[in-house]
Structures are given as structure tokens and as C-alpha cells.
Amino acid sequence: MSQKGILVGAQLASAIHIEDEMEELRNLCLACEIEVIDLIVQKANNINPQTYIRKGKLDEIKILVETQDIDVVVFNDELTPSQIANIQEVIGTSVYDRTYMILEIFKRRAKTKEAVLQVDIASLQYLMPRLIGLRSNLSRQRGGGGNAEHGRGEGETKLELDRRNIADRVALLKNELKELTEERSLQRKRRLKNGIPIVSIVGYTNSGKSTTLNALLNYSSHIRKEVFEKDMLFATLETSSRLIRLDNRHEFILIDTVGFVHKLPHQLIEAFKSTLEEIKESHLILHVIDTSNPHFMDQINTTNMVLHEIGIHDIPMIYVFNKMDCLTGEFFIPPQFEKAIIISATQGTNTDSLINMIEDELYKHEVVVSYLIPYHKGEIISLLNQESSVIEVKYLEKGTLLTTRINPVLRNKLQGYEQKI
């Protein structure tokens, strides 16, 4: 590990699972190569607006920093610029907060141009108000003579220039991102025009979203191209889409999205909105859950809160309780989840049943219809073969009798050939 750190949290009455948050913060630090030496949690009625925790506890941390040769102290909540400055002044070492750690991991994971732009925008927006804390020494400097501008110090002028440069940089990056967003929007419109249903996979980070996508690819007759998967936080920030084409000619596009986490920084939600917009145009959502986590209900609520924040309310959802292979005892799906299934994506357990559930939802309006198609209307037979699921074919004197499972739109186009079953 390149740095040694201490984790600090405040346990308020509302912080029901502070232990899980601190463990998650530890994993965030490990992902950024920070070795966690100690963990400190202070019970409090509220957050101290000056120093986050009370001064006595801060003095204890200062002693630990000096005796344990600590490089960084990481706080479980997002700190204000003045809190950063005040804490650093007391403990005398670098101060990070939860938001900084999440942004740092996103920086390391971003690979595509779009992801890099989104993370850069979020990081700069986070940095801008914190210049006071990061450059407090400059803000205290006072210039004189010809260097002073309207009585402002050299440091103060430097801060304003930094803020202006960051604002200009954010505007430039947003324009670049807008171009990519428009291109992505055109791709989405083409997909919707093709009439192929879209299924989005959402869930808490490391719940097995990418593994679930790869497991479902096993049922596709289309070219199989797996997405990256690894047991780690935010293994991928890229939105991957794959076509699933089943043997019965049913098909849908499966989209893997970025994972969520407790206290996901609002800057990231804002920056990734263009990517998350994909979810809003889905016909179905697969909400993947790490069933082995004892507090999976909190993770479900966190994910649903983010979905609500980006305006997703009425899209059908299947709750996919994953990682059944990691359970030691029996598991029963909570009764409030009507459309739900328990699977093991790594072992492929119940993934065939998940495919059936997806089909039942996407193609629930299909009906079984028979058509008598004259032999000179071969183009209609081709259309039925391409856009419906043909169950039976008979060759009669007047033409080809096809019994098919068909959607209402195509059925309306072929009313003149419909036969009573």
C-alpha cells in the first residue's frame, strides 16, 4: 500500500448501519491503495459544522497521526471546504472525504472517452468550492502596492483565477460530453425504431450485474461477447449493451449500467445522467441484488432512491436476488417483491427461469394466431419468420398455414390473412 490512513465516522441516530458504511469506506480506501490503520466512530446528535466531530476526538486523531505516521484521514461523509481547512489545521495531514474517495475510484476505472469526461466534470465540480480549503494559505496572503487589485491579496486573486479556470474547463468538457450524448441518443432512437425491447440491469456496486449479463448471453444465438466482470467495487463504469436473440426468435437488448453506492456523490449522478438516461427508455429493469449481504434491503433502497432521482417511476422491474451460491442457509424472497427470482449468475442457477420471466414481461401482449398465406405472397411468410415466433407450418391447397405467436402491431397489419383456430 502506498499510504497509511485512518477512517473517521459520526454515528447519528439516523445512521442505522454505520458499521456497514465504514466497512464500505474501508473497501473504497483499499481500492485506492490506502492501508487502513485504525477506525474511529463518534456517537453524536449532529455533525459539528466546524470540524465534523468534536475537538476532543480530533485531538485524539492528531496523536494517532503523529505516532502512527499516518498519511491521510478519511471521513465517512462529504466535508465542507471550511471543515477540510479546520481539520487539516488541527491534525496536520491530508484530509479526504467519502465523496473524494468515490471520485478517485471512478477516475481509476474510467476507460472510454465518455466515462473519462463524466468523471472529470464531477471531480472539477467537487474541487471548485474546496479551493478555499486546499489553498487556504493563499487566501491569507495580502499583496501591496501595484500588485493589489482593489485591495485584494495576491492569494485571493489566485483563488479567483483558479475558480474561473475550473469553470471554463467544466464548460469545455460539458460541450464535449454533449456531443457524445447526442450520438448516444441517436443510437437509442435507432434501437427504439427497430422495435427491439430494451432491458436495463441496475443494482448496487459489486452485486453481480455484469456477471448476470454474461450468464444471460449463454441463451443467445447471437454472437457472444462477454463484458468485463470482477469482484470489486465499480469494476466497470462503461455502459455495455448486448443483443440477446433466443431460439424462438424473441430478442431484446440487455444494457449493463454503472453500480450505485451509499451516499453516491450528487456530482456523479449529475455527470452520469446522460448514461443513466438509457434506463429511462427501457421496457424492463432487472434490479440485481447481492443476497449474501446481510443488509441487502438497504442496498435495494439506495438503488431505488437513485432511480427515483433520475426520474424512473413506472418501468416494470424484476428483482434478481443474486449470489445464492454464497448463502449458507435457506433464503426466502421478501413478500413485498412480487416479480422476483433468486439466482446464481456465476453458476448459472435459475438463469433459465430468469430468461422466461423476461420473455413473459416483454412479450406478454403476444397472442397465438393462424394465417393462411397464398403461395405468391412469399414476402409475408418471410415477415412472419423474421418478426414472430412460428409454432407450426402446414402446406394446403390454397397456401401456407402458419400458426404463430405474434405481437398486436404486426397482427393488425395481417388481419386479412387471419384464420380461426
In a domain, 121, yes or no: yes
Last residue of a domain, one of 179, 211, 236: 179
Domain CATH code at residue 413: 3.30.70.240
List phi, psi (to 5°) of 136.
-60, -30
- Sequence-ordered strand ranges (E) for 17-159: 34-43, 72-75, 94-97
The HSE-up count of residue 270 (CA atoms within 13 Å, CB side) is 13
Each residue's pLDDT, cut to its tens digit, for the chain (421 residues) gives: 579 999 999 988 766 678 888 988 998 898 888 999 999 999 888 899 999 999 889 999 999 999 999 999 999 999 998 899 899 999 999 999 999 998 888 888 777 787 788 888 888 888 887 765 455 444 444 444 444 444 445 555 666 777 788 888 889 988 888 887 777 667 666 656 666 888 999 999 889 998 999 999 999 876 666 554 555 455 555 677 888 988 877 889 898 887 787 777 777 777 666 667 778 888 999 999 999 988 899 899 989 988 888 888 889 999 999 999 999 888 899 999 989 999 999 999 999 999 999 999 998 888 889 999 999 999 999 988 887 888 889 999 999 999 998 888 788 888 889 887 6
| C-alpha distance from residue 12 to each of 34, 109, 236, 266 (Å) | 26, 32, 32, 21
User: Of 164, 151, 158, 152, whose CA–CA distance to 136 is shortest?
Assistant: 158
Q: Same domain, yes or no, for 125 and 96?
A: no
Query: 3-state SS of 334-348?
Result: CCCCCCEEECECCCC
Residue 83 included in any domain: yes
Estimate the share of the chain in helix, then strand, then coil, as percent rounded to the nearest 5. 45, 20, 30
Distance CA 160, CA 22 (A): 36
Residues 334 and 303 in one domain: yes
Number of domains in the chain: 4
Q: Indicate whether 312 and 171 sit together in one domain.
A: no
Pair 234, 277 in one domain: yes
Q: Is 331 left (phi over 0), alpha (psi -120 to 50) or beta?
A: beta
What backbone phi and psi angles, to 5 degrees, belong to 297? -65, -40
Residues 346 and 407 in one domain: no
Note whether 210 and 330 are same-domain residues. yes
Look up residue 278 and give its amino acid. Answer: E
> Distance (Å, rounded) from C-alpha 312 to C-alpha 299?
17
Do 78 and 51 share a structural domain? yes
* Domain of residue 233, residue span: 196-362
Containing 351, the helix (H) or strand (E) segment is: helix 351-362
User: Is 27 inside a domain boundary?
Assistant: yes
Q: Does some domain include residue 28?
A: yes
Q: Which triple of cell numbers denotes residue 248?
A: 424462438
277 and 412 fall within a common domain: no
Dihedral class, residue 208 (left if φ above 0, else alpha if ψ from -120 to 50, else beta) = left
Q: Does 9 share its domain with 96?
A: yes
245 and 323 fall within a common domain: yes
Rounded CA separation 160/128 (Å) = 10
Question: Can you tell me the distance from the alpha carbon of 216 to that of 269, in angstroms, rounded to the nearest whole number?
Answer: 28
- CATH at 276: 3.40.50.300
Which of 179, 209, 233 lies at the terminal end of a domain, its last residue? 179
